[in-house]
Amino acid sequence: MLHTEIPDFKYIKDPEAAGTVEVSEKPVKCDCCENYVDAIYSGPIYCDNDLEIDVICPICISDGSAAKKFKCTFVDVEVCDEIKSKKAIKELTCRTPSFMSWTQEKWLAHCGDYCEFIGYVGWDDVWRMGIAEEIEEDYKENGTYSIRSARNAENGGKTQGYLFKCLKCGQHRLWIDKDPMK
C-alpha cells in the first residue's frame, strides 16, 4: 500500500485535520511531480490563468515546485495580515497548504511573522484550552471583529473560529468568519 509522507509545514500544524490534505484509498497521479500519491491537496488555489489542476501532492506544495510550475499560490496574501518579510510571504503563499473557511481564509500574523494555524474552534474550545483571556486581550489590541462576535463562535456553526499561535512568543490569536448563507 502506498503512503505519501505529509511534510511538516511551518505555518500549518495539521493540514489533514484542516481538511485541505486528504488521503485517498486509491493512488492518483500528481499533476506536478507526476508521481502516484495517496495524499492530495484539496484546498484553495489562486492562479491568474485557467489551468485545470486536479491533483497536487503535499510534497510539491512543501518544496515550492507546484507554485512555480503552475504560477499559483495556496494562500491569498491580499487578505492576510501584513508583514514585511518577503521570505515569510513566499513560504506562506507558495509552500503552505491553506485551511478552509466560509468566505476566504485570512492568515493572522504576530511578532512580524505569520502565525501557525492550529485548527477550527468555537468559543467553548477556547475556554477549555484556558486561553480565553489571552484571546480577549488580543482582540482588544488587534481584533477586526468585536469580542462579542468571537464569543459566539461555534466549531462547525454559523460563526466559525480559526485558532492561530505565534511562532515566536506563543500568543494565541483567533480569527472568525461567518457563514454568508446563515
Residues contacting residue 119 through CB under 8 Å, at least 6 positions apart: 13, 14, 17, 18, 162, 163
What does the DSSP 8-state code read for residue 100? -
**What integer best gives the mean pLDDT of the chain?**
92
Domain residue spans of the chain: 1-100, 101-178
Residue 124: which H helix or E strand, with range? helix 123-128
Quote the percentage of the chain above a pLDDT of 90: 76
Q: Please list, residue by residue across 70-88, b when 16 or more beta carbons sit within 10 angstroms of its beta carbon and e when fewer do.
A: bebbbbebeebbebeeeeb
Strand partners, 109: 114
Q: Can you state the percent helix, strand and coil of the chain, rounding each to 5? A: 25, 25, 50
Q: What is the DSSP string of 59-98?
A: HHHHTSHHHHHHTEESS-GGGSPP-S-HHHHHHHHHH---
What's the predicted TM-score (pTM) here?
Answer: 0.93
pLDDT 10s digits, 48-88: 877 788 899 999 999 999 999 999 999 999 999 999 999 99
What does the DSSP 8-state code read for residue 38? E
pLDDT surpasses 70 at 2? no
Cβ 172 vs Cβ 135: under 8 Å? yes
